[in-house]
Copies of this chain bind each other. A is one copy, B any other.
Amino acid sequence: MAVYVNGKVCKDPNLVEAEDFLFSGLHIAGNTSTPSGNIGTKAIIPGLNTFGLSMARGDFAPSGFSSPHVHPRASEMVLVLEGHLEVGFVTSNLENRLITKFLQVGDVFVFPQGLVHFQRNARGDTHVVSLSAFSSQNSELSRVSVACFESNPAIPVDLLAKAFQVDEKTASQMGGI
């Protein structure tokens, strides 16, 4: 029986072996043939349970983007390995201040826990490769456009129309990436 603590399975520490601490393949470019031109690849490490840490690679095709999203349980620190990455996060209500930067290779930026943020390939001609660290073994991700417009079942369309100040027909046609 698997036992979940903070979303991860616990293991008897005497039974761990090297493979429990290893993930291979983060050098492999993710397939960016997605609607957003962006794909994330998480390092899946079995022994990670309560370490408060995880890592993922990001690939962005030219003009690809990671749409506004939150990590419910983690702050994120992103490093640009290739290309130019536009990043931003929005401070909480009532301020709603966008704190934004154009990052170059070697730049590191932090997104505070739970705040809406985005990333975008700032150029139309090169790929971006980024590397992100998270302050939780179970950072999770919630894209706000998907959570709002692609949930299963759907959030009532009239509520979405009002929240985003569009007419209901538009809201019903909207989606999320």
Please report A residues at the B interface, Cβ cutoff 8 Å: 1-7, 10-14, 16-18, 21-28, 35-36, 43, 45, 47-48, 50-55, 65, 67-73, 75-77, 79-81, 86, 88, 90-93, 95-101, 104-116, 118, 120, 131, 133-135, 140-156, 159-160, 162-166, 170, 173-177
A-B contact pairs, 29 of them (CB 8 A): A2-B12, A3-B10, A4-B10, A7-B13, A13-B91, A14-B95, A17-B99, A22-B101, A36-B163, A43-B108, A51-B110, A52-B52, A53-B76, A65-B159, A68-B163, A79-B131, A86-B156, A90-B142, A90-B148, A93-B142, A97-B151, A97-B152, A98-B151, A98-B153, A162-B177, A164-B164, A164-B175, A164-B177, A170-B170
